[in-house]
Structure 1
Amino acid sequence: MSHTPTTQSNTNASGAAAKPTLTGVRIRQRKGQAKATAKFEPETFRDSLLLHLALVATPPTTNDLVAKLVQAGTTLEYLKYSEQLFELLFVGGLLQPGGAYLDDKRSPFYILQPAGGELGDWPPVKGIVETLQRVIQRYRYLQRPLEESFLPDLLGYLAKWDADQRAKLAEAIAMLVIELQIAPKALTSLAKDHVVKDQVGLDFLTKFFRVYLARQSIDHLAATIRRSGLRDILTVFPVQIRDRAHLDAHFKKEGLPQIIDWYAKVALSEIKEETISAVSRMINDEDSNQQIVEHLKAQQAERPAPEADLCEWIFLGWMKAFDWTARADQLDANVVAFVNRLAPTLEPFCNGAKAEVGIINAVQVFCYQDTRILKAFPQILKVFYNTDIVSDQAIIYWHQKGAKPQGKQHFLKVTQALVDFLEEESDEDDE
């Protein structure tokens, strides 16, 4: 028998009329709303997924495992239970806060599983990584929770696993970053105090580097480290050995000289930026030349850099502080006077032929790139010679075979008169 909707109107205690309601009509809950309000039952999800995985033959094949997971995904809510899905595939069971297992129930296939036994020749690390890659290609929404929450949290529990298990996790995450191109944000967890303790984080990072470099170049790895948000790999070292000497010794012992060379370049780049900024700031603050020299000497004592590089950075710091707002026809004279005033801050560090030729080339390249002071080059060179920053032999050598290719013919031409004069002076001295 059909029901005819009737409208009921009630008056509440305050006397205000209540909103009319429909009686006799069954209002269905929307599917999305039902999912959002559904009870969160991770153990129920786990048990359901284990039923699907129990159908995978042993020894397993990756194709069979992928097929069963994709089939399970048609009925199970992978997005809602993504953390539990990953826990089963990585560590085999559900985890409590803090990293301990919730109970004794385990997946038959997971990354930390020992090889052999019913697995046969199927490698759990490679097999699960390939499985994840193909499942995530099917369910793209799983990649973000994997890289943004699950893996960073999992690496926070590293101390819970033994050395062999940590090695498997390092291999798996390196492969996921390379092959699935997941964001390497998880590496920031290695700098947490409880992970740094007892070199747990360092041990993991070393194994991660080894696996990564077996598949990709050091430049590729360097880009990954930059994207990870790990500010400095030294932060993974325990505080008592957190310095360059221990870093070099560790990676030399581990047979990873590429890491030592890469880190040296990174450290040098940081010193470069700091030097340029410091010189520019001190000039703008009207510090004396002597104060600038003392600062640079203290920096060299604490974090030494090659003198050829340091001289170039000092010059770049000058140019950063220089007032470029003057009229174009006055820039040449202004920059020469500026260089002459600051020459005493460079002279103490420009020792030896390499540093002297290097600073000439630094000025050459700068003038080539910023043509506003292109004509000032020979005058700057004269200032360098008159203030003992460079010798006559350094200028002659630069002119004969040491000049950079950038605008080379132009710079050789405009300095020909100076070089002729220096060669004549040198001949007279010899006589």
Structure 2
Amino acid sequence: MSHTPTSSTPGNASGAAAKPTLSGVRIRQRKGQAKAAAKFEPEAFRDSLLLYLEVVPNPPTNDALVTKLVQAGASLEFLKYSEQLFELLFVGGLLQPGGSYVDEKRSPFFILQDDSELGDWNPVKGIVEVLQRVIQRYRYLQKPLEETFLPDLLGYIPKWNPSQRAKLAEAVALFVADVGIQAKCLQSLAKDHVVKDGVALSFLTAFFHTYLSKQSIEHLSSNLRKSGLRDILAVFPQQSRDRATLEAHFKKEGLTQVVDWYAKAALSGVRTNTISTITRMINDEETNEVIIEHLKTQQAENPVPEADLCEWIWLGWMGAFDWTARGDQLDTNVVQYVSRLAPSLEPFALSAKAQVNVLNTAQVYCYQETRILKAFPQLVKVLYNADCVSDQAVIYWHQKGAKPQGKQHFLKVTQALVDFLEEDSEDEDE
């Protein structure tokens, strides 16, 4: 039995229920949307933060400052105004582009402050510890500090006097060494207007003094590599940008650790370049004479210890060696290969130390590259016949100069050669 509807909803032909509508009701904006849309007012933020800081006793305590800043962070937008927060705590007031102050209003406590105004409280160490603890509470502050604020601020350091720059350098060193802030800001020291008049150099020198009082040179080296400051020579004025000036400066400053570290770092760069260049020249089928000429020119321009150079030459050779032959042919191939290239090593293997290092380099390489392990005695003979190593160097290496890697094996397989050389040497003496 069917039923026919007797009525429908007025104004709705389909019979569906009409959706309710609201009139005269104000839709409230979400809190996050309201904050995002709020007008950016750095001076208003500054004034609000100063109200919190004004009630801190003078001289302050770190605990009192941390307490007030954490309280302020609960109501003020630290993330939105992170730059202004750091400006107040580092330099005391708001900065305009270029590094000049916006007005005369100052924070009662900041890093560049005159110590005499604060009794026994040290503004540099105090603010660093305070900010460290505040950042532990508001983690989102670390990124703008290390990626934006500090790089910008170091671009302004010519604005400050030497005493203020020294304080800022100490603070940055403490942030990097103890707090774990990345040292990306050091890239700003290489800018021309900062390098001018030795400003960047004096800043980096003060930075090193503080850093090395807290951490090792290895720790510093690691952070310098991550900083993006590729070469600390970039902070020296253009007319004195050479290694001799660098070494003289840091020795005078009592920073011999920096001098030694830089020498090792420079040597590492030359090593990489030398090995890759030799490999490329061999692949390009350059003659031994051309390789020798290149290495002599390099030694004249940037001398390195002979022992190191000989090791790099060997590694450059091996970088171009064809490893695609069958296993039973590799031994023969590598002996022939080294025999062909040995004349390019001979002019540089002149000292006893260099010759022993040639043998040790070959030993360690064969130990690590086991495919040519059996070729080692023949390689020693090739190097001896090409005057790359002397009989005395081979004998010394065998008696007490060999490396520990596979030592007993290598001494055993070269025993016959050493016996021959010793007998030959005795015959010559007679």
**TM-score of the two chains, using structure 2 as the length reference:** 0.94
Q: Deviations over 1:145-186 (max 9, x none)?
A: 000000000000010001000000011011111221011111
1:355-370 matches, within 5 Å, as 355-370=354-369
Matched residue of 1:374: which SS? Answer: helix
| CA positional deviation for 1:22 | 5.6
Distance 1:27 1:407 in 2: 80
Change (3 A) 1:342 1:23: same
1:145-156 matches, within 5 Å, as 145-156=144-155
The number of aligned residues is 411
Structure 2 unaligned residues grouped into runs of 5+? 1-19
Name 1:128's counterpart in structure 2: 127
Q: Deviations over 1:280-327 (max 9, x none)?
A: 000001111111111111111111100000000000000001011111
Q: Does 1:170 align with 2:169?
A: yes
Name 1:225's counterpart in structure 2: 224
Matched residue of 2:248: which SS? Answer: helix
Name 1:5's counterpart in structure 2: none
| CA positional deviation for 1:35 | 1.1
Name 2:281's counterpart in structure 1: 282
Q: Which amino acid aligns with 2:83?
A: E
1:73-222 matches, within 5 Å, as 73-117=73-117, 119-222=118-221
1:16-415 matches, within 5 Å, as 23-117=23-117, 119-415=118-414
Distance 1:98 1:313 in 2: 48
Q: Which amino acid aligns with 1:199?
A: G
Name 1:16's counterpart in structure 2: none
Distance 2:81 2:21 in 1: 37
Q: Which amino acid aligns with 1:323?
A: D
Matched residue of 2:74: which SS? Answer: coil
Matched residue of 1:389: which SS? Answer: coil
Change (3 A) 1:147 1:328: same
Q: Which runs of 4+ in 1 moved over 6 A?
A: none
Distance 1:59 1:295 in 2: 66
Distance 2:21 2:174 in 1: 59
Q: Deviations over 1:60-109 (max 9, x none)?
A: 11111111111111110000000000000000000000000000000000
Q: Which amino acid aligns with 1:186?
A: C
| CA positional deviation for 1:357 | 0.5
Name 1:7's counterpart in structure 2: none
Distance 2:110 2:155 in 1: 19
Distance 1:216 1:326 in 2: 50
Q: Which amino acid aligns with 2:228?
A: G
Distance 1:31 1:298 in 2: 70
Distance 1:331 1:25 in 2: 87
Distance 1:259 1:42 in 2: 41
Q: Deviations over 1:114-160 (max 9, x none)?
A: 0023x111110011011001111110100000000000000000100
Name 2:5's counterpart in structure 1: none
| CA positional deviation for 1:24 | 2.3
Q: Deviations over 1:197-241 (max 9, x none)?
A: 111011000000000111111111111111111101011111100
Distance 1:152 1:227 in 2: 14
Q: Which amino acid aligns with 2:64?
A: D
Distance 1:374 1:321 in 2: 18
Q: Which amino acid aligns with 1:330?
A: Q
| CA positional deviation for 1:21 | 8.7
Distance 1:409 1:208 in 2: 49
| CA positional deviation for 1:371 | 0.6
Name 2:422's counterpart in structure 1: 423
Distance 1:200 1:396 in 2: 56
| CA positional deviation for 1:333 | 0.5
Q: Deviations over 1:246-276 (max 9, x none)?
A: 0000001111111000000000000100000
Root-mean-square deviation (Å): 1.0
Matched residue of 1:275: which SS? Answer: helix
Distance 2:422 2:347 in 1: 25
Matched residue of 1:55: which SS? Answer: coil
| CA positional deviation for 1:25 | 2.6
Which segment drifts farther, 146-155 or 173-182? 173-182
Structure 1 unaligned residues grouped into runs of 5+? 1-19
Distance 1:252 1:180 in 2: 28
Matched residue of 2:150: which SS? Answer: helix
Q: Give aligned-pair identity as a percent.
A: 73
Q: Which amino acid aligns with 2:247?
A: D
